[in-house]
Amino acid sequence: MVNPTNPVLEAVRNRRSVIRFETVPVGEEKIQAILEAGRWAPSWLNKQPWKFIVITDPGVKERVSEFAPTIFSLAIKEAPVCIAVCVDSKEDPYHFIEDAAAATQNMALAAHSQGLGSCWIGVFNLEGAKDSAEAKIREILDVPRDFRLISLLPIGIPKYTPEKDRKKLSEIVYWGRL
């Protein structure tokens, strides 16, 4: 059994994707702590190729929400803060997706640890298509051409926290070979 008092493991176990938020503002110190967690994510050769765009303007969130997958559109509009996670694909051409994913996960866990909810919204388009949601949101946020937009992370006080379960370890873990 995993130590139930370990705060990191507790945050990992209890974090849930929240898609409905209260309209209560999030304090700057909490946002800074979340951004700090993203900054400390692992990256290939410690390149740290990420840039985080903090979106609080309701008009910008509204425009961004138009290009998010339907179920997440309301989350972006309702959340008082949305963080766009971008990476410089030239600085790390081989692992930029993993680097941004690690930063996104760190920020989601940091939000949860402060009593906030978040929802990871993937917008990365593998082909980099000009008409993709990623391209349209990059344009709204003035993201440079060499950067890719990997995820959006709306953050706020949850209206509710969904209950979820996980598969048993015995269903997913293999020792030595699959």
The model's pLDDT over 28-66, given as tens digits with 9 standing for 90+, comes to: 999 999 999 999 999 999 999 999 999 999 999 999 999
Give residue 3's pLDDT. Answer: 67
- Residue 71 covered by a domain: yes
- Where residue 80 sits, what CATH number does that domain have? 3.40.109.10
pTM of model > 0.75? yes
CB atoms within 10 A of CB 20: 16
- Residue 76 covered by a domain: yes
Give residue 13's pLDDT. Answer: 83
Report the amino acid identity of residue 22: E
- Residue 4 covered by a domain: no
- Residue 1 covered by a domain: no
Give residue 15's pLDDT. Answer: 86
Q: Give the chain's domain count.
A: 1
Q: Are 51 and 146 in contact (CB under 8 A)?
A: no
Residues of the chain with pLDDT under 50: none
**CA–CA separation, 71 and 148 (whole Å):** 22
- Residue 63 covered by a domain: yes
Give residue 2's pLDDT. Answer: 60
Q: Which residues constitute the domain of residue 99?
A: 13-172
Q: Are 49 and 87 in contact (CB under 8 A)?
A: yes
- Residue 178 covered by a domain: no
- Residue 7 covered by a domain: no
